[in-house]
Amino acid sequence: MSEFPKEMLHRLKTCGVVAGFSVDKVEHAVPLTKALLDGGINAIELMLRTPAAMAAVIEICAEVPEMLVGVGTILSPASVREVKAAGADFGVAPGMNPRVIAAAQDIGLPFAPGIATPTDLEAAIELGCRFVKFFPAEAMGGVTYLRSFAAPYKHLGIQYFPLGGINADNMSEYLREPNVPAVGGSWIVKQSLVDSEDWAGISSRAADVISKLKKDQRR
C-alpha cells in the first residue's frame, strides 16, 4: 500500500492549502518557506523544475523543520531516492508512473501519483495508492467532474489532492468535498515578489488565503 500516514493527512487537512512553487535560486528557498509559514501555511510542494530544486529541498528540510515538505514533479525512480535522502515528507507527480510508485514504496516515501481519469485511478489503486493528485483539476472539469468520476470508488476511501487551476475563488468549493483534505495552490507564491525578495508580501498573500478559508468555513 502507498497510504499517507494519518498524521500527515491530518496536517494537510488542517491547513487545507499546500503552496506550490519552484525556485530559481537556492538562497530564496528558506526565506520563502519561512514567509509562507509566517502567513499560516504549513505545507508546501516544491516542484523539481529548476536546477536549484533539489538543493532547495535539502535547505528547507534542514532549516524549516516546522514545514510539511512535499516535492512535486517527481518523474523517475532516481528522483524518488534523491527526494527521500533530502528529507522531504512526501512526493507528488503529475502522472501515474508505476516505476516511480514502486520506488517510493520501496523506500517508504509517502507518494501521490497524478490521475485525471477513472482508468488512471484504477491503475493507481491496483498499485496500492489511496491518496492521489487530481491534475489538472479545472481543465478536466473541476469539482463536478471529480464528484462524478470518484463516485464508483467511494467505498475504497480514496482521498484526492486537486491541483491545476485552483485559486482563492474556487479552493473552498473543492475543500467542501469530504474526500478532499487539501488543494494545491500555485497562485500564492508570486514570482515577482520572490525576485524582489519581498518576503513580507509573500506572508501577506499566505495570510489572505488562510483568512478566506476560515471565513468560507464559517458560512
Buried b (16+ CB within 10 A) or exposed e, 75-109: eebebbebbbebebbbbbbbebbeebbebbbeeeb
212 among known catalytic residues:
no
| Residue 133 appears among annotated catalytic residues | yes
In this structure, what DSSP letter does residue 153 have?
G
From 45, 59, 82, 84, the catalytic residue:
45
Which of the following is catalytic: 3, 6, 133, 154?
A: 133
Cα atoms in the 13 Å half-sphere on the side-chain side of 24: 6
Of 158, 159, 212, nearest to 185 (Cα)? 212
Using CA atoms, how far apart are residues 69 and 59, in angstroms rounded to an integer?
A: 11
Name every residue whose Cβ is closer than 8 Å to that of residue 57 and which is 6 or more positions away in sequence: 29, 46, 69, 71, 83, 86, 87, 88
Active site residues: 45, 133
